[in-house]
Structure 1
């Protein structure tokens, strides 16, 4: 099972709750006026009286509110209502860090346990989840100021709130965090890799999901609270930082209910039918100027499909079973248009495979439900079954083009390494659009070489050779007995790949 941190501070002794003020219901007029309770599931103002007489210390809640912009709502039970502030950066974790807090209307006490999705068009429309809750002590409470000590799961300490102008307040932490209260920075990990599998299968001990045709990326997220802004760092399969290329995913941290976490997923560009399009994605992979990236993000935005949670708030989840990791992922992830949870289908791999085949998608991945995550390793605990097989090949040359391609090239000459030598495995002449033909021809011209890099050069009319530095993805139906690709189709270049890592063992 998933291990939970054990640094929680015990709550204070329970004391009789302050009796409700006689005007509590009247203080909820502004709250009621802003909401249509026939549309929203938020507590009605009339619910206030139902929770006034419970015994115990006064309660607090911090709600993670993804409205027009993310903020945390701090609510303190006081005189029969929940006195409320919107805190854009959340409560600070360290003393000396000041965060803006905007006082909002008083809320009914039942709001202290509310979470759900407020409908679009309603006041504060958007997902709301409980970030923290517990009890508190009011050390000072006066006009325009309050000092409280929180006893929650995440926030355990003393905080000053003070008004600066009208509804504008500031909140600052007064004490140092206790040892172990704040989680360490998340670890640097490499993704676990799947083993190619020849056919789909069914097994109740396995979980199956769509194999997304995109770019694998681990996301390391950190929320504000220590004097810095929230941030998302995306790293590709080999650990290189690719965050600047995908600005629309910069807000991923807002969708994770954690101080920090590491997620595993795939960056995909969806076509008009909602299917992943690697070609759309590839057009953005080579952009490095800020303006070009921004234009491409508007023209072909991407989605991050999340399928694993490796670490959260100091807990190393990758050592736990996949089923436990996914349960924790569902607790901390709030999906949106740009961040989605990859759906899981227990047991029925064959049914899912036929569904993705009908939709023209790449394939499925089966994962053993009880398996731990193995960073940087390929394992049979994850098995990928492709509708058409795929391999990364080294470009060793090209053939001259004819007709419309007379100014570019006809086909790429492909190879894979075996025992240190580059072996010819076939040629791919389809899968290119006009823009790619032009850009790739220019790159090939810069890599021109006088001799073939292949140990067994093919006898192909019009062949031109290049230094074996570029790697491309090739889709094919099968490998012949002679080791050649049958019906190869170019799917795009693979930036940053090591050509010598492309070996004949990669044939699926």
Structure 2
């Protein structure tokens, strides 16, 4: 198609969108290309799915957004090609212009064609792998009828392949769980209210003047953070600017004395001010991100990212320059129960998938959070990962309320135990009164009333420690 149709529809003296240059087709043997997805609130809300191919961004409008369920086929209407520079655009297209409304950069990364992409595109069936910050794994774009350059050939379907990244639509919606921008962490209404321009155009909107230009420079691709963490790291309660410590000892739970599960004397959580997480049966891991490089370190300080390359890759996909995550790597079985991960990268689990349950955030984008209260750290972590995480990364959720009731219900679901934590406590290395654990089926816990009953979803939302 080229950019002629794109140019025809826009007045670049008004819109801040990049004009781009019509270039020759990209070589057929290129292995990785850019992909972006922009959430676009124009006359109606939709998602613009764009793949770099033949020197431009081939584009499809997906009204309902992508789905991780292979059974769900999303309509994708083929639209005009866009310039490669459009991959950095987030901001406002002026009303009255084509596509006028708010644009949010929802996902980005690289895509790898499974077969010859030029032949596949022109034949109407394009199979590829996405390596994005939100979407990963195999997808297919297939034309429903007609030639790609005919009006009737505009209708395509976007379909998720059935792989490790697939998730049933009834359990998870990626567009609902992760609505934020991967560039700035903002929501659509925040972008609309800010009225800035992420793309620094030489033709700023008439009347925008120096203010719009200044906003564009601040968020231009060369100066902004790739991930959204930098935007809110300094706002976390108790955060302070500091270099990341070379070593951080993990905080460990104090086990309740055998036979004592009630009262202050036993050290059990008493009263308000506690949150409760499901104890994961796995391997305690700290994830260190330094200059964008990810290291996974066990309790003994040994690097183990070679065993869990998919987890390291998923963390890298968050687009962070520096961070310190704390959690547990475990096999999440199909019945919702967790089990220790395989002892080597070559050994595959008998059932289920190996995931990283992240329950604490100790450092983020130049800010030390260890003095922050746990409630603030978990709130920042949830914002970073999304409400429940996806694929290899899972936000470790919690509940508040009566410790005895939470323990009883958890043990009835056959979980390993319950870890209770003070919501207002900072990170304290080693064992202390701020974290306590009660095991199910042991002297310090209560045996399940129905041993055969399994937790269908709770383990996927909980977390624990060894």
TM range (shorter): 0.3 to 0.5
Compare the two structures and name the one with the higher strand fraction.
Answer: 1
> Which of structures 1 and 2 has the bigger CA Rg?
1
Q: TM-score scaled to structure 1, two decimals?
A: 0.44
Q: TM-score scaled to structure 2, two decimals?
A: 0.48
> Higher relative CO (CA 8 A, sep ≥ 6), structure 1 or 2?
2
